[in-house]
Structure 1
């Protein structure tokens, strides 16, 4: 603006300057009056600033709209956009920063000089060495940018282009707490069967069973009814394991082996819902990953710890950003950087305990969570049905089975331990009893007479105890302490009514204080909230007021109440340790190759049960009695799970739960058992655990035996007690049974404490 004013002043001074007169000189002409009918444009700086601002936003259409008509005629919007995007993608640009340095205008032409800095994911910041000139021209009533590709970077003038030569470190491994690989970069062998080529079925089944740890009848069932020339995937094994028995395997007719360089998950996936899986970057996320420094053809973590720990497991790529001519000739190196090493992740998971939990569920849908009560570490997290994460590698011939996983109506990719929200049934009575005692309205020795029926809301709202359905006598006169042990529903309905009348918020608030409802914040895997309903929740979600019947149902873990198995496991963990609520954790450490850990787990307390030590000891003793038989007045009575734990030398406490499924009216209920051990063995720290089995029956009949199975394997190294429904370990009783040659012995006495 100052330059234009100076120019006008000089013109005016010249026009109005004094003229010398001589006798021979004609009289001067009148001084001309300068008038400007059309003002000279004065907003070229605004156009330049708008152009650069649009560039910083990635608004290429906005930039293109500011080009001069001649520039728009020379390049289409599509090509203009592609040119900028290709540069940004090649350099792994995360953002661009520009700054106007100076400007100069003369008539309908102007120039603006500016600096540009590209922030990139791989090679750091890239800046032009000298200011870049932006020519502008005034035409058709506006200023427009006379664009050339050298305005992106001078080195790109004339059509030069960029190519990044990536150097990416190998993906780091995931280990269990004892150093066993759960996800490794290695050679593996995909194993399958072509039925029509089988020559010795017994030998083939025996070899695959031994190699993969699968039952022979299971393998046989995979190809039952298949066409002779079909390829039937069976599983994967490490190349080392196959090599050690290669000569024998190679001679088996019908066995097909394919070696692959892959992300290998042993055992068909140990804790797959925790570890997760890797695969190629989804099409819709390519731009995002390229901004993060990926070339675009890598396999990345898409679930579980593989996804959560991507920045550690993948490391950081290095690269050399080169300039090439339109003919493909190397011009120069623009920038370069060195890769940063990947870091391995060690989980809190115990491989052997995890496998025991997965096997304990068998073919049942459900979840098991095992925690260390003293730290909040998750030692096992099993969800069933499960899946084989090896199938997500497209180079694996067995990946032909992936559509079966993706389309399975039972949704095996869902982590039921953290994403499944279920009515907790009677395991919720732990929180109800805590709220009752904390309120001061109830005391451990308060008596109540249970007749098997409950009618405190009148004759039109009569509820019956579980004892009625199984033809057992009512509990009679019992204390609150015993009511938890025998799971007396009428007593707890009475508690729900009484607390509601005192203050409708007592029970919901008490349940939340026990860690139920909101997600636990575990962070390393996907997690859903549960539901602890109250007046506000019901009005918002149902559009109805909170009524006494809601509180009565809630007291026994029914109605609108939903919890995840992880929430229940954390609740009993807090009961076991004296009241501390820990944030559950799955990651023990993160370490670079050959270096000290960059992260080491430390227990994180996030709350404390509001229950006094005296009242908490009452709850603990009541849960202890759930698992044993007691003599009262010469009469033996037992807790709801004492038969399931009969003869077990490991002392433990727990609570059964049988929860009606609102999603399956009239169907079988969910079975729960949650508790903790009390062995006090320095070589085997005590554990807390929650077991859920979907739509199967009573908690004492199904979940409690599964709890026992996991405890036996943890403390004794193998199971000693068959399930009521088993004929041998891992084999469901049936008229025709398939023997399991690799199952542990069915007889024997477990070690004494």
Structure 2
């Protein structure tokens, strides 16, 4: 009996001793560690969203602004404290919003190890957005019955708004979540394309921070500190909203008109630039899209459907320029020694090596000065220039340092490299040279050699064999095609507009700018954005004036005379050049590049329509409409002020 009591006493003492030892371990040995961990667990950081700056046109009219919409958010902590984990609340909320409850459950769960999106990547102490835009009726249903929707709120949040719809959508760009951001909350959004991306640091501002203490249930006990958010600055651009609208309308009508003539007319672009400053007044692209599709996020299916419309073709579209290119070839020819006031023959065709290169439709135009060669767009005169220059450089056995005057002049006009415009994703175009052709041959030689053996067509086999063996050579045909903007030459509409602006302003090649100034909400200027002079054309003033005068005749008696018939050229003298560029396997690319007033140029306007036919039939009428709309001619209201 006594031994049993002893065992019982030892057992009771052990039971009492174990908690004491554990208590000593927690409070004494590891007390500081647990105290620090407890303090850390109870202090939470909450992000306070900021207001993003707006984007304005050159007269202060909003192109992008913020508007508020009712967004529904859920308090994760309050939801998980419910006995059923908040399932009943989400079921009722799903009925009000008209969405599946399972979808809401995915949105409010936290992104942790093993949990894949959709889920909430942010702090559990921050309201979780579950609906980006709800009706006032739905918001009232939630607000008036808090007992049915504990932890659920319907509050106004800022979102990006485009008051002019599709206008300049490609130039403006859009915002989307970066990192843990969410489009419905406004937190963590950053510019993804266009001006929104390029000037994101100015537009975005800084989010605020709130440091709070929460109890063991997750309820906020007190606020330790708070840093208010800083609103972003506004961006004033050189875009004129009225001119932009005129350009987009003219481009759209040009595409529709070409399609009425049963041409594909699958894409197009228009550029309006101030030739005196290098500022961009309008950038249009077809097809367009509504940028508000990005508000609140976009589904994968919707994005795939939209993807073909997103390219800003004014800066990324690349096409052969056709005869609009001849301003560079004419300048190169004069610099190479051809007489500016000389008379040149324009036969229907010109023999270049073993191949006959034809004029447009093989029509001979007789003898003419260089000015008429531009006005009437005689190809064979430029073929002759190119062929003779090629021969002087050694022909098939080039000299050690070929002069290549046409390539060098085209490079001086800014082709073959990015203009440096303040928009992301600009294409460089392509300026084919001897070095480029050798590099391209090295990349494609194996494929050409395979086709030389396997191709079914004898013609294809012959071409492939030539490319396999001698594809690195700069042939006479390459030089001839280059002179009229064909072959491997590619330009963007912006590059061509900048080149014509340099011709118009006397030789200054600007780095184009869309941004004009960054300003605070009170209108004070943070900084001004000024286009820089990237270079000067190596062309005498006399030659530039001669070319300008020749182009002034194009709408009067040249290739664009039909397109400008009845236009009041006495009120606004337009100078320009048509371009009809062949594209392998496609219909012709239609171009018209211009500037006005011809005597004292102020603006350059360029239009291109891919697979739109001749320059005179599609692009030139569109340019006419833009000039008419800008200056209020032919019965319209002037877009310019």
Deviations 1:23-52 (A, max 9, x none): xxxxxxxxxxxxxxxxxxxxxxxxxxxxxx
> For 1:300, what is the secondary structure of its paired residue?
strand
Confirm or deny that 1:165 pairs with 2:58: no
Superposition deviation, residue 435 in structure 1: 1.5
Superposed counterparts of 1:723-742, under 5 Å: none
The RMSD of aligned alpha carbons is 3.3
Q: Give the count of matched residue pairs.
A: 473
> For 2:243, what is the secondary structure of its paired residue?
helix
Confirm or deny that 1:277 pairs with 2:174: yes
Cα distance 1:150–1:705, how it changes in 2: closer, same or farther (>3 A)?
Answer: farther
CA contact (8 A) 2:58 2:238 kept: yes
Residue 656 of structure 1 corresponds to which residue in structure 2?
A: 578
Superposition deviation, residue 703 in structure 1: 0.6
Cα distance 1:518–1:504, how it changes in 2: closer, same or farther (>3 A)?
Answer: same
CA contact (8 A) 1:159 1:326 kept: no
CA contact (8 A) 1:572 1:688 kept: yes
Residue 118 of structure 1 corresponds to which residue in structure 2?
A: none
CA contact (8 A) 1:188 1:264 kept: no
Residue 178 of structure 1 corresponds to which residue in structure 2?
A: 59
Q: Which has the larger radius of gyration?
A: 1
Deviations 1:469-498 (A, max 9, x none): xxxx41111222221111111111111112
Cα distance 1:596–1:155, how it changes in 2: closer, same or farther (>3 A)?
Answer: farther
Superposition deviation, residue 347 in structure 1: 0.9
Cα distance 1:324–1:698, how it changes in 2: closer, same or farther (>3 A)?
Answer: same
> For 1:689, what is the secondary structure of its paired residue?
strand
The structure in which a higher percent of residues are helix is 2
Superposed counterparts of 1:74-153, under 5 Å: none
Superposition deviation, residue 299 in structure 1: 4.0
Relative contact order (alpha carbons < 8 A, sep ≥ 6): 1 or 2 greater? 2
Residue 528 of structure 2 corresponds to which residue in structure 1?
A: 600
Residue 292 of structure 2 corresponds to which residue in structure 1?
A: 390
CA distance in 1, matches of 2:228, 2:33: 28
> For 1:184, what is the secondary structure of its paired residue?
strand
Residue 341 of structure 2 corresponds to which residue in structure 1?
A: 445
Cα distance 1:618–1:647, how it changes in 2: closer, same or farther (>3 A)?
Answer: same
Deviations 1:47-74 (A, max 9, x none): xxxxxxxxxxxxxxxxxxxxxxxxxxxx
Residue 512 of structure 1 corresponds to which residue in structure 2?
A: 411
Residue 131 of structure 1 corresponds to which residue in structure 2?
A: none
> For 2:242, what is the secondary structure of its paired residue?
helix
Structure 1 runs not aligned, ≥5 long:
1-146, 190-235, 240-258, 629-637, 721-743
Cα distance 1:158–1:554, how it changes in 2: closer, same or farther (>3 A)?
Answer: same
Confirm or deny that 1:643 pairs with 2:541: no
CA contact (8 A) 1:286 1:296 kept: no
2:318 is aligned, of 421, 434, 445, to 421
Superposition deviation, residue 719 in structure 1: 5.6
Residue 619 of structure 1 corresponds to which residue in structure 2?
A: 547
CA distance in 2, matches of 1:176, 1:532: 34
CA distance in 2, matches of 1:178, 1:546: 51
CA contact (8 A) 1:504 1:551 kept: no
CA distance in 1, matches of 2:223, 2:391: 78
CA contact (8 A) 1:172 1:343 kept: yes
Superposed counterparts of 1:170-319, under 5 Å: 170-186=51-67, 262-279=159-176, 281=177, 285-286=178-179, 297-319=187-209
| Residue range with higher mean Cα deviation, 525-534 or 573-582 | 525-534
Superposition deviation, residue 260 in structure 1: 9.7
The TM-score, its normalising length taken from structure 2, stands at 0.68
Superposition deviation, residue 328 in structure 1: 3.6
Residue 222 of structure 1 corresponds to which residue in structure 2?
A: none
Cα distance 1:342–1:453, how it changes in 2: closer, same or farther (>3 A)?
Answer: same
Cα distance 1:446–1:310, how it changes in 2: closer, same or farther (>3 A)?
Answer: same
Confirm or deny that 1:573 pairs with 2:470: no
